[in-house]
Structure 1
Amino acid sequence: MEDQQTPDVIVARDVMVPMRDGVRLATDLYFPGEVADRRTGAIPAVLSRTPYNKTGGADAASFFARRGYMAAVQDCRGRYGSEGVFFPFVDDPEDGFDTIEWIADHPSCDGKVGMYGCSYDAWVQFHAATQNPPSLATMIPFEGPINAYHYSMREGGALHLGLLNWAVRMSTTSQEARANPAIAEAIRPMSGDGPQFLEWASRIPWRRGQTPLAVVPQYEDAVFRLYFENNDYTEFWRQPGLAMDEYFDAFPDMPMLWMVGWFDWYPRTIIDGFQKMVSMGRGNQHLLVGPWTHGNCEPSCGDVHFGPEGNLHFHEDFLHLYLQWFNRWLKGDATVDVGSAVRMFRMGGGDGSRDRDGLLQHGGNWFSVGGWPPEGSRETPYYIHENGILSTEAPSREDASTTYTYDPRNTVSSNGRCIVPYGPMKEGWFKGMGPRDQIEIETLPGHGIPGMPIASRPDVLVFQTAPISADLSIAGNIRGVLWISSDAPDTDFFLKLLDVYPSSLDYPNGYALPVSEGILRVRYRESRERPTPMEPGTVYRIEIDMQPSANLFQAGHRIRLDICSSNFPNYDINRNTGDPDDRDWRIARNTVYHEAARTSYVQLPVWKS
């Protein structure tokens, strides 16, 4: 189908769409001129629901309207022009259903509705689908989770501070703050726009009425219920607005395009959702994964460039990709080629030089494959050994372990994949999400000596291969298995997989590029529902889900696994007491075992393409 456009777009602004409880949601409707003038028949519709102000979706909606779609952009409940009270996520399932069916009944709509959007605008697609709206024909969730507890607000039981920071920032644009600038100013210093969030984050748990959020009571209530008062996976988390994956059976059987970037914080959840839908026998499920952060398709992120193919590459931009998808599944254009089931970007293969912008040339290429993990991917354990060795050979010693001391007052800094504004990302909310050389930076919290490798800290265990003799690709899911003990009732174990460049002219100390990571709060090792403290001296086997990835480790590089017990401010600080309501702390002596009877390893999906 050619990119046929109509020059005229008619917009009906602030149409108040009624929900089942009488609350009305502000919605802008965009029509091709000939449809609005009744010169043509009914057409399919596309919908984006957002808490970020529907005016920001005007360009996308106009784009679709010019190409023969009715487009709707809606403010979520309690945000901007919409009525009601905003509590993140919980009202969006029913609001999404009601909006979809209202649009489908509109005289200009032919009864088919598709959804699109990124971040929260992806969440709401999953929300609506849990209610099985009969008119929802397809959707394109880009970087949103399928379960708030397991993949978003928390990860491995640890509190994701980036999402807490998001909730605080949202309060500065609440209807109350927009009506009274003094409210916004009271909150802003602790939000992402000020330096105080790190101070507040280091004092978790917060107390009701004792933070600036108290000036916006309903936002304070949401923050405390989502982040501090429901630490375990209870019934609170199982409602459709928070545990969308528990309602997958109710989703319409429809085509879905799952999209994410490797350096977003959602690759594991998007890929898990895709795999689950495929395993349920749902047809026309497609997955697209690029080397991006949150909401973009730039060929570089962090301080790494992924080469000429690092952008979307096969489309002009996301909107043209969405258009092709909608033309296929809403307009029934069978001439549209939606591509293979999985299109993934395998990172690596660049020459490792530093370009004029100071970016490492890591390179990479797109691959089209039939599923996930791709055919030819083989789970291969890389075992940790004494003396910092990582190898495919299992350890043979009968008694071997490594112990380190974790002090909650001296955390290991997050350097990459973090959205809390600080250090290299202080001038932009998502600037620090991408891969960065793992060195201490003076502006990072908990930093050591600026310029020194983070791996030189005594509370970071480092295990790496010898320089590999031939190129090695991975593509698939990654998991860490550790045998551990501690003298504390609780602690964290954080894993980071790295592609280590050798010394070069541009990088005399080499370059440690993070590929994947994962965390586990050990009291949740058996169950997220029922935390269990550790017994001092008892040895436990734990599994840590890490972010999936696709990367080419070139000959001469090393594969490295770092192990530590903190990653701040990406995650909250575990104070080692086992009590989430406790501000006391204790030092933990943590031990990792690597012996014949207790093999600790990272399981890599070695891929022969």
Structure 2
Amino acid sequence: MGTQQQKQDMTPYNAVVRRQSRWAFLIVLVIASGSFSAAADYVVQRDVMVPMRDGVRLATDVYRPAVGDQPLDEALPVILSRLPYNKAGSKSMGAYYATHGYVFVAQDTRGRYNSEGVWHMLTDDGPDGVDCAAWIGQQPWSNGKIGMIGTSYFGGTQHAMAIAGAPELTTVIPVDAMANMGRQSIRNAGAFELRFWNWIFLNAGRGSRAGKNPATAEVLREMADQRFAYLENLPTRRGMTPLRLSPEYEDWLISAMEHGPNDEFWAQNNIVDAPEKYKDIPVYLVSGWYDSWGGNNTATFMALNSAIKGPVYMIMGPWIHGKQTGHAHGQVNFGKDAAISDQWAWRKEWYDHWMKGIDNSVGKADPFKTPVRIFVMGTGDGSKDEQGRLQHGGFWRNELEWPLARTEYTEFYLQSGGGLSTTMPKIEQATTQYDFDPKNPVPNIGGNLSSSDDIMLQGAWNQKGGPHLWNFKDPIPLSARADVLVFQSEPLEQDVEVTGEIEVRLFASSSAIDTDFTAKLIDVYPPSADWPGGFDLNIGDGIVRARFRESLTKEVMMTPGETYEFTIKLYPTSNVFKKGHRIRVDISSSNFPRFDVNPNTGEPLNRHRTTKVATQTIYHDASRPSRIVLPVIPASPSDE
């Protein structure tokens, strides 16, 4: 680290490419008393090969402010992006920050695109991030301060670098970031989220070592194109598909699908269980109510907020994965105010404050006025917009904490006959049964997803089949299925705001020694002129694999017919269930292909050869009161 060889890799600038910014004629260079305004031009050096501690070199692009063809001779703070998705796609980010007083550095992570080495799922990104930061800190164009940027996987590389404690790291803005992977993201209460199966099938042949061979890349591309057929033939077995041609990807996927316990296998970026390892720096966490990492975002906020001084900020919008500039997701329009229109400028405000010491809007004005900013969904008029989407609406609100201190946790009990109310069941014995056939799983319709390209729909959707679904093409509601139990309230007499973390506590038994139970929260719109059949809007969902009911770290099989209490953690939300709507909870045992399907056999994970139909019994009586615990926010006097 910091060797003469490293310095030779950067100097002289032997591959500088000049780029004119689109606003070049409006912006002038100002250098006074060592300070820097915005530069009109920038230069970029591509594919600087930066060595890591083990000698593997990672391809790195450096964007610098410039006057004409000459980079500015000044040490500046650095914005760093470490990503597996091809750094060449970082041009807009690089241009923006290099023309606003920063050096921007984009690096292909290990084993991806132009970088050397073998890819591993995030496990190298802590030490590699430390080595990259040390190299940046020694360059003459760096003042030793690094802020990180990136979404999803390269939100996760930010967490990895913060956990590794890189000395130069000054602040991070992880967006929809990979974290807590053994709890509620890759493994979700023991079930496997198949979006990562999809990610591997898509990326094993592009940007990978195997993908550099054109013939191999073509075989892997064909495999990716046939994902629907492979989904119908799960489990994916080691060595039995073309995935074997990309061995590090096959090894991770099969190992991950076979490994259920939340232990050292998932330790990388496990913030919830070890927040004290996180570097004490300002952190701004960003995600959405319909993002795959939304639950991890709020969990990370709660963990870090009690472990570091930070400060730790969080914003949660009505967004799907990586779509903070959008205001309509799935079949629903949340209103134009839901979008963050300028994706780079608001981040620059944060970086300016913490990396340049500028007294600006941070701590004073939106979106930085308070530590928590949330979008409260559901205050629209429910009509149909010009694109045929439900106008669910909503508004932004600033909060001081998460969960909200004024929360009134309210239990809504499952009732005989399909009711849902705050009244505890009085009947001594009440059950509802259904058969769960793994060969005919309940199809997924929207929800908290990412990396779902083609195989799933993200976001907010009417819970009804149709041609938009590959595995549920008939235009019938999910509630028509015999293996979906529906419990819903009477039409609400007043608006009910639900904001916070949500759990279903379910008393159930099964004829199987292992099975799954799922729960979904739905905002039921009544019939209207625009929606004559109503609209069953998914708000959040969750799952539990029975063998992990007692602990996420230990597998314990069930005794068939014995009753157990299961906790199903749904994704957090903020939604107003309006007067006249119903609050609904759907209970089932599958949600495919959001989650892998439990074969009900108790065989080792991802190694089953057979399936069994399981008879499931849900209890909802006085001694076994199954219920959903909703974080109800009392109406303020001005709302009444």
Give the TM-score range, shorter chain.
Answer: over 0.9
Aligned partner of 1:294 in structure 2 is: 321
1:186 aligns with 2:219: yes
Instruction: Report the CA distance between 1:167 and its aligned residue.
Output: 1.3
Aligned partner of 1:565 in structure 2 is: 589
1:81 aligns with 2:114: yes
Aligned partner of 2:128 in structure 1 is: 95
1:25 aligns with 2:58: yes
Instruction: Report the CA distance between 1:34 and its aligned residue.
Output: 5.5
Instruction: Report the CA distance between 1:245 and its aligned residue.
Output: 4.1
Aligned partner of 2:196 in structure 1 is: 163
CA contact (8 A) 2:271 2:300 kept: no
1:548 aligns with 2:576: no
Instruction: Report the CA distance between 1:209 and its aligned residue.
Output: 1.4
Aligned partner of 1:124 in structure 2 is: 157
Distance of 2:623 and 2:249 partners within structure 1? 50
1:380 aligns with 2:410: yes
Instruction: Report the CA distance between 1:69 and its aligned residue.
Output: 0.5
Instruction: Report the CA distance between 1:12 and its aligned residue.
Output: 1.6
Alignment of 1:131-142 (within 5 A): 131-142=164-175
Alignment of 1:432-451 (within 5 A): 432-442=457-467, 444=469, 446-447=471-472, 450-451=474-475
Q: Which amino acid aligns with 2:480?
A: S
CA contact (8 A) 1:593 1:599 kept: yes
Tell me, which stretches of 5 or more residues in structure 2 are unaligned?
1-29, 31-35, 363-367
Alignment of 1:192-341 (within 5 A): 194=225, 196-228=226-258, 230-238=259-267, 241-297=268-324, 298-312=326-340, 316-337=341-362, 338-341=368-371
Distance of 1:586 and 1:76 partners within structure 2? 43
Instruction: Report the CA distance between 1:42 and its aligned residue.
Output: 1.5
Instruction: Report the CA distance between 1:216 and its aligned residue.
Output: 1.8
CA contact (8 A) 2:153 2:178 kept: no
Distance of 2:69 and 2:165 partners within structure 1? 29
In structure 2, do the counterparts of structure 1 residues 384 and 175 end up closer, same or farther at CA, with 3 Å as the change threshold?
Answer: closer
Q: Which amino acid aligns with 1:490?
A: D
1:371 aligns with 2:401: yes
CA contact (8 A) 2:412 2:630 kept: yes
CA displacement, residues 536-585 of structure 1 (integer Å, 9 cap, x when unaligned):
11100111111000001110000000001010111111110111221200
CA displacement, residues 277-336 of structure 1 (integer Å, 9 cap, x when unaligned):
112242311001111111112110001000121212xxx422111111100111111223
Aligned partner of 1:113 in structure 2 is: 146
Q: Which amino acid aligns with 2:333?
A: H
CA contact (8 A) 1:204 1:583 kept: no
Instruction: Report the CA distance between 1:41 and its aligned residue.
Output: 3.4
- TM-score, with structure 1 as normaliser: 0.94
1:172 aligns with 2:201: no
Which moved further from structure 2: 115-124 or 433-442?
A: 433-442
CA contact (8 A) 1:165 1:420 kept: no
Instruction: Report the CA distance between 1:263 and its aligned residue.
Output: 0.7
Q: Secondary structure at the match of 1:388?
A: coil
Distance of 1:84 and 1:35 partners within structure 2? 36
Aligned partner of 1:460 in structure 2 is: 484
CA displacement, residues 196-229 of structure 1 (integer Å, 9 cap, x when unaligned):
323322333222211111122222222222223x
Q: Which amino acid aligns with 2:199?
A: W
Q: Which amino acid aligns with 2:117?
A: G
Q: Secondary structure at the match of 2:417?
A: helix
Distance of 1:203 and 1:18 partners within structure 2? 42
Q: Secondary structure at the match of 1:151?
A: coil
Q: Secondary structure at the match of 2:336?
A: coil
In structure 2, do the counterparts of structure 1 residues 34 and 134 end up closer, same or farther at CA, with 3 Å as the change threshold?
Answer: farther
In structure 2, do the counterparts of structure 1 residues 244 and 22 end up closer, same or farther at CA, with 3 Å as the change threshold?
Answer: farther
Q: Which amino acid aligns with 1:600?
A: S
Aligned partner of 1:524 in structure 2 is: 548
Q: Secondary structure at the match of 1:148?
A: coil
1:412 aligns with 2:442: yes
Distance of 1:418 and 1:212 partners within structure 2? 29
Instruction: Report the CA distance between 1:377 and its aligned residue.
Output: 1.7
Distance of 1:54 and 1:41 partners within structure 2? 24
CA contact (8 A) 1:176 1:183 kept: no
Q: Which amino acid aligns with 1:5?
A: A
Q: Which amino acid aligns with 1:433?
A: Q
Aligned partner of 1:471 in structure 2 is: 495
CA displacement, residues 312-371 of structure 1 (integer Å, 9 cap, x when unaligned):
2xxx42211111110011111122333211111000111111112110010000001111
Aligned partner of 1:604 in structure 2 is: 630
CA contact (8 A) 2:377 2:393 kept: yes
Distance of 1:251 and 1:104 partners within structure 2? 20
Q: Which amino acid aligns with 2:293?
A: Y
Distance of 2:67 and 2:184 partners within structure 1? 44
Distance of 1:166 and 1:86 partners within structure 2? 14
Aligned partner of 1:72 in structure 2 is: 105
Alignment counterpart, residue 501 of structure 1, candidates 516, 522, 525: 525
Q: Which amino acid aligns with 1:586?
A: K
Q: Which amino acid aligns with 1:88?
A: M
Distance of 1:572 and 1:178 partners within structure 2? 27
CA contact (8 A) 2:147 2:351 kept: yes
Q: Secondary structure at the match of 2:120?
A: coil
CA contact (8 A) 2:58 2:116 kept: yes
Instruction: Report the CA distance between 1:178 and its aligned residue.
Output: 3.7
In structure 2, do the counterparts of structure 1 residues 278 and 503 end up closer, same or farther at CA, with 3 Å as the change threshold?
Answer: same
Q: Secondary structure at the match of 1:482?
A: strand
Instruction: Report the CA distance between 1:372 and its aligned residue.
Output: 0.7
CA contact (8 A) 1:152 1:163 kept: no
Instruction: Report the CA distance between 1:102 and its aligned residue.
Output: 1.3
Percent sequence identity over aligned pairs: 39
Distance of 1:203 and 1:215 partners within structure 2? 19
Aligned partner of 1:577 in structure 2 is: 601
Instruction: Report the CA distance between 1:243 and its aligned residue.
Output: 3.0
Aligned partner of 2:513 in structure 1 is: 489
Q: Which amino acid aligns with 2:335?
A: G
Q: Secondary structure at the match of 1:185?
A: helix
Instruction: Report the CA distance between 1:187 and its aligned residue.
Output: 1.9
Q: Secondary structure at the match of 1:542?
A: strand
CA contact (8 A) 1:201 1:572 kept: no
Tell me, which stretches of 5 or more residues in structure 1 are unaligned?
none
Distance of 2:476 and 2:95 partners within structure 1? 50
Q: Secondary structure at the match of 2:356?
A: coil
Alignment counterpart, residue 58 of structure 1, candidates 91, 114, 129: 91
Which structure has the bigger radius of gyration? Answer: 2
Q: Which amino acid aligns with 1:416?
A: G
CA displacement, residues 457-509 of structure 1 (integer Å, 9 cap, x when unaligned):
11000000000011111111111100010011111111000100000111111
CA contact (8 A) 2:447 2:541 kept: no
Q: Secondary structure at the match of 1:110?
A: strand
CA contact (8 A) 1:327 1:336 kept: no
Which moved further from structure 2: 471-480 or 201-210?
A: 201-210
Q: Which amino acid aligns with 1:473?
A: E
Distance of 2:602 and 2:223 partners within structure 1? 27
Instruction: Report the CA distance between 1:172 and its aligned residue.
Output: 1.6
